[in-house]
A and B are shown apart, each in its own frame.
Chain A
Amino acid sequence: MRAAPVNVLARLAEYVNHDPVLRRRGRFLDADMLLEIGTAQWLMTIRDGQILQMRTASPVMNSWTFAMRFDAVAWELFLTRLPPPGTHDLMALLRTGRLRIEGNLHPFMSHLLWFKEAFATLRDAP
C-alpha cells in the first residue's frame, strides 16, 4: 500500500530541488500551481525551477497560474514503478480524461518534459 499523497508530495520539493537535470531544465520556470488529487488541493510555488513552497490550498480563495487536477486512482497508478498503459504519463492521463489542466498553460507546455519528470521522481519515493 502506498503512502498517502500528502506524504509522497512532501518529498517532491526535495527530489526536484536536488536533481541537477531538473534544475537545469527548469531554470526559467516560474509558476504558482494548484495541484488537485481527488478532492485534496495544494498550492505549489515554483521559481527558477525550484519548488519553494507547497501548502494546503485554502478552501475558499486561491490564486494560481494553472491547475493540474488528477483523478485519485490514476495518480496512484501513475506513481507505481511500472504504470499500466494509459496511466504512465501526464499526456496519457490527459488523453484518457484522468487529468485536467486549466488556466494559463504556458508554463506547463513550455516545460512539459520538466513537469513529466518532476512528478515521475515520486516513483522512487519510499
Chain B
Amino acid sequence: MIEPVTGRYLRLDLAGRAHRLYFEECGKGIPLLCLHTAGADGRQYRDLLNDADITRDFRCIAFDMPWHGKSSPPDGWWEEEYRLTTDLYTGMIMAVIDALALERPLVLGCSIGGRIVLDLAARHADRLRGVIGLQSSAFVEPYYDLEWLHRPDVHGGEVCAGIVSGLVAPQSPAVSRWETLWHYMQGGPGVFRGDLHFYKEEGDLRPLLAQIDTRRCPVWMLTGDYDYSCSPEATLQTAAQIPGAKATIMAGLGHFPMSENFAVLRPYLREILEAIKAPNE
C-alpha cells in the first residue's frame, strides 16, 4: 500500500543563508501548515496527512525545520551552536509560506510550534487564516538542567527521548508513543537543546499577547491534560491574555497530541477545521 503523502525538497534562503528543506504534503484546498515540536520532525503529522476527511478540503503541509529530520543544517554548521530564536523561527515559517505560495494558510503548531503561532498571529495576522496552538503557551520556565541534552558522556538520542517520554499520556498507544520517541532519538546533537533556547530562554512572548487581534487572525488552543511542560494552566493563562482566543483542555493526551494519539485529538481538530471552512456560519 502506498500512502497518498508525498515528500519533496525546497531550496530557499533563510536569514540570508541557503537551505534545503524537506516537506511532506497531502490534500488540496485551504493550506494547513503544520509545525513540529522541538527536537523532532514533520513525521509527527503522519496521521493527519493520511486523514482523507481532512485532506479532502485542506492542503496539509508539514516541513522539517533546518537541522531536523531530512532538512540539512546550513553550510558552516559544524562551526556554530544551533540556537533557535523567535525571529529566526517566524522568518523561516513566512519564507516557507512564500516559497510554496500559500495563500492565507491556517497554521497548526505544537509546543514550540504552539508558541510561535502566537508570534505569527501578532505580527502577520493579515497573511494568515488563523492559528491553532497545540500545547501552546507564551512561556515555560526551565525545570531541569538543559545541559544534559547535549554532552559527550550522555547519549543525546536516548536522553532526549527520556526527557520527553513522560510527556506522552499513559493512555496513548505504545506504537505511537515509541514512534514519537524514535523521532527524538534520531535528532542531531544539540538540536533539541537549541530549540529549547527559544522555548525556555529567548522566546518569552508574554509581552506580545496584547497585540493579537483575533478578529483578524483567530486563535485556537488545544492542550492535553497530561502535559507537565506546557501545562493546561499555562495554556489557560495565555488564552486569558488574548481576547477572543478559544482554549480547550483535552483529557487523556500529553504534549504530542497529533503524534501520540491522533484519534483523540481528531474531533477537537475537526471542529476547528469545520469552522474555518464555513467562517460565516
- Asked if A88 and B166 sit within 8 Å, CB to CB, the answer is yes
Q: Which residues of B contact A113 (CB under 8 A)?
A: 158, 161-162, 165
CB < 8 Å: which of A82, A96, A110 contacts B170? A82
Q: Min CB distance, B183 to chain A, in Å?
A: 15
Of the four ranges (under 10, 10 to 19, 20 to 34, 35 or more), the interface on chain B belongs to 20 to 34
B47 touches A (CB below 8 Å): no
Q: Total A-B residue pairs with C-beta atoms closer than 8 Å?
A: 54
A8 touches B (CB below 8 Å): no
The prevalent SS among residues of B at the interface is loop
A90 touches B (CB below 8 Å): yes
A89 to B136, CA, bound (A): 21
> For residues 55 through 111 of chain B, which have their beta carbon under 8 Å from a beta carbon of chain A?
none
- Asked if B163 and A83 sit within 8 Å, CB to CB, the answer is no
* Residue of B with least CB distance to A110: B154
A91 to B166, CA, bound (A): 7
A110 to B144, CA, bound (A): 14
- Asked if B162 and A112 sit within 8 Å, CB to CB, the answer is yes
Q: Which residues of B contact A95 (CB under 8 A)?
A: 143, 228-229
B171 touches A (CB below 8 Å): yes
A90 to B163, CA, bound (A): 10
- Asked if A110 and B159 sit within 8 Å, CB to CB, the answer is yes
- Asked if A88 and B170 sit within 8 Å, CB to CB, the answer is yes
- Asked if A94 and B154 sit within 8 Å, CB to CB, the answer is no
User: In the complex, which of the residues B155, B169, B228 has the most CB atoms of chain A within 10 Å of its own CB atom?
Assistant: B228
Q: Min CB distance, B161 to chain A, in Å?
A: 6
Q: Which residues of A contact B158 (CB under 8 A)?
A: 110, 112-113
Q: Min CB distance, B274 to chain A, in Å?
A: 29
When each residue 80-99 of chain A gets 1 if its CB lies under 8 Å from chain B and 0 otherwise, what string results? 00110110111110111000
Q: Which residues of B contact A82 (CB under 8 A)?
A: 170-171
- Asked if B228 and A112 sit within 8 Å, CB to CB, the answer is no
Q: Min CB distance, A9 to chain B, in Å?
A: 21
> For residues 168 through 191 of chain B, which have their beta carbon under 8 Å from a beta carbon of chain A?
169-171
Q: Which residues of A contact B227 (CB under 8 A)?
A: 85
* Residue of B with least CB distance to A97: B143
When each residue 106-118 of chain A gets 1 if its CB lies under 8 Å from chain B and 0 otherwise, what string results? 1001101100100
CB < 8 Å: which of B155, B171, B228 contacts A92? B228
A119 to B130, CA, bound (A): 43
Q: Which residues of B contact A90 (CB under 8 A)?
A: 166
- Asked if A106 and B144 sit within 8 Å, CB to CB, the answer is no
Chain A: residues with CB nearer than 8 A to chain B?
A: 82-83, 85-86, 88-92, 94-96, 105-106, 109-110, 112-113, 116
Chain B: residues with CB nearer than 8 A to chain A?
A: 143-144, 148, 153-155, 158-159, 161-163, 165-167, 169-171, 225-229
CB pairs A–B below 8 angstroms (16 shown):
A82-B170, A85-B225, A85-B226, A85-B228, A89-B165, A90-B166, A91-B144, A91-B167, A94-B144, A95-B229, A96-B228, A109-B162, A113-B161, A113-B162, A116-B165, A116-B166
Interface pairs A-B: 7 shortest CB-CB: A89-B166, A112-B162, A92-B228, A113-B162, A110-B154, A95-B228, A91-B166
